[in-house]
Amino acid sequence: MMLKNKILTAGLFLFTALSFSQSVYIGKIDDICYTSLDSVNNAVYVFFKDYYKKIDLETFEKDSVTIVVDPKFDFKAYKPVLVNSKYYFVHNQGGIVYKLKDDTIKRIDNSFNHKMQINSNIFVYDDKILRYGGYGFWSARNFFTYFDTDLLEWETISPVNSEEVPKGTFDGLYILDKDDAYFFNGKSIDDFNKTEMFLNNEVWKYNFKLNSWSFLGTSDFIDLTNFIDLTNFAHPIRYKKSLLVVYTNGLSTIDLGNNKLAKFKHGKYSHNMIPFLNNYFLNDRFYSFYYKRNTINGTVYFRSASINEFIGELISEQPFYSNHNLLKGSFYLVAVLLLMAFLGNVGFKQFKKRKKIVLLDNGLRYQNKFVEFDQKAMEILKLLVLGKDVNSNKILSIVEEKQYSAAHNERIKVQKLDEINLKIKTLIGLSDDIIQSKKSHIDKRIRQYFINKNLFFLSKKDLLK
């Protein structure tokens, strides 16, 4: 029973240690050159001038390893990059590359410090060191280079499947998500005044499998100097598929895959982190460097915290970028669809016209044929086509001549109707009369005339007459 209680106590202690914030002493802020995350081995490295500390993120145990450094090597001029558990150090301005071999940092490249890629984005994709953009000699780059570990030189990547490419940038942010790299928040050089730079608000995506660029839209600039100490820039934290930016008054996450900007309040352990050192998120926990309260000697500590301890209450969510070209394209698409609908409607009407008899002022047209009628015949046709059943007297009033008797005028009416029937039958190739008659339901003495209206094309204008 005693053994069981000890095991339970040990398990509870371990759970508590892993579930709540842990802290460990690192050193003086002025002595720290760089920090780096080894996500494969679950460790953080803190580099000093002639040694580094390796912090195990599970146990928070520290190992200090002395290293031999080339006198020409200056940690703060390089960015450490981890490739297959091997540390490389890439110069912030040009092509010089060092590598940590055993306990010695040695130069390995066949390049030189060309100063053409100052403040470019440096990252690892497909086990290759890549850099994008950068400033040099009054211009900014807009292409990728990668370090060839066989030739020990830098080569370029060509966006062969792109219809457009971004303007060159430097000092920008990026998010790498599988085969997609997003770039934003950079600075560019004015095309007409090479001594002037401007904040570039464009957001672009590059797909390494397709070797193609895509313009996503424009966004507000993220100010990374929003701190009490404006001499140091904040380093955003890679948080899941987003970047987490820490401000004096809160936090923001930038998710470009879903075009979302979320703003949060500070959590318990985010407000006093050291933003200009690299801080990390791994396996659902944050790992950050911080100063203890009421300390003035620049002593740095390192701790872990859960998501809820680091990120506070959600304040707002909104799209990160907007694409006016997409809106314009949508407008054009709607306009094209409406035009197609209009043309389709016109075409359909024309098709219907070709299959129907069209009433004209002086006759009838059917397909490519035309037959002429006199004024009285057209008046009778319009009366029959545009109206309902027509009494005999109405037709008689159109054709009668006052000098003739009623019987003679009746014969004139019948002859006119026969003439109309014959011409229409000949025009469309039918054997039956188009105009027919019937006795009125109200008064059997009255004869009514009607026509097969389905044979005629009637516009809305005709129907309103």
- Quick one: pLDDT band at residue 2, thresholds 50, 70, 90? very low
Confidence category of residue 308, pLDDT binned at 50, 70, 90: very high
Domain ranges within the chain, ordered by starting residue? 21-326, 356-464
Q: Name residue 192's amino acid.
A: F
**What is the tens place of the pLDDT at every residue in 389-400?**
888 899 999 989
Burial 222-242 (b: 16+ CB within 10 A, else e): bebeebeeeeeebbbbbbeeb
| pLDDT for the residue 243 | 96
What's the number of CA atoms in the CB half-sphere (13 Å) around residue 367? 5
Q: What's the Cα-to-Cα distance from 311 to each of 44, 223, 265, 307, 315, rounded to whole Å? A: 21, 19, 7, 6, 11
Sheet containing 51-56, strands listed edge to edge, beginning at the edge strand earlier in sequence:
34-38, 43-47, 51-56, 62-66
- What pLDDT is recorded for position 156? 95
Dist CA 7 CA 376 (whole Å): 114
What pLDDT score was predicted for residue 388? 80
Greater confidence, 93 or 329? 93
119-146: pLDDT as tens digits: 999 999 999 999 999 999 999 999 999 9
Per cent of the chain over pLDDT 90 is: 60
Does the structural domain 356-464 have CATH classification 1.10.3280? no
How far is Cα 146 from Cα 128, in angstroms, rounded to an integer? 7
Sign of torsion, CA 419 422 427 432?
A: positive
pLDDT (0 to 100) of residue 443: 80
Pick from 48, 25, 45, 26: nearest CA to 35: 45
Question: Would you list the DSSP string of 112-178?
Answer: -----SBT-EEEEETTEEEEE--B-SS-B--SEEEEETTTTEEEEE--TT-S--PPP-BS-EEEEET
b/e string for 169-194 if b means 16 or more Cβ within 10 A?
Answer: bbbbbbbbeeebbbbbbbbbbeeeee
Enter the pTM of the model.
Answer: 0.68
Q: How far is CA 307 from its chain centroid?
A: 28
**Using CA atoms, how far apart are residues 146 and 148, in angstroms rounded to an integer?**
6
pLDDT given for residue 368 in this prediction: 84
Query: How far, in whole angstroms, is CA 129 from its chain's centroid?
Result: 27
Mind listing the pLDDT tens digit for each residue in 162-217? 999 999 999 999 999 999 999 999 999 999 999 999 999 999 999 999 999 999 99
Per-residue DSSP letters for 30-41?
GG--EEEEETTT
Q: In the 8-state DSSP scheme, what is residue 10?
A: H
Query: Check: CATH 2.60.40.10 for 21-326?
Result: no
Per-residue model confidence as pLDDT tens digits over 313-367: 999 999 999 986 555 555 556 666 676 666 655 555 554 556 789 888 899 999 8
Mean pLDDT, residues 277-290: 96
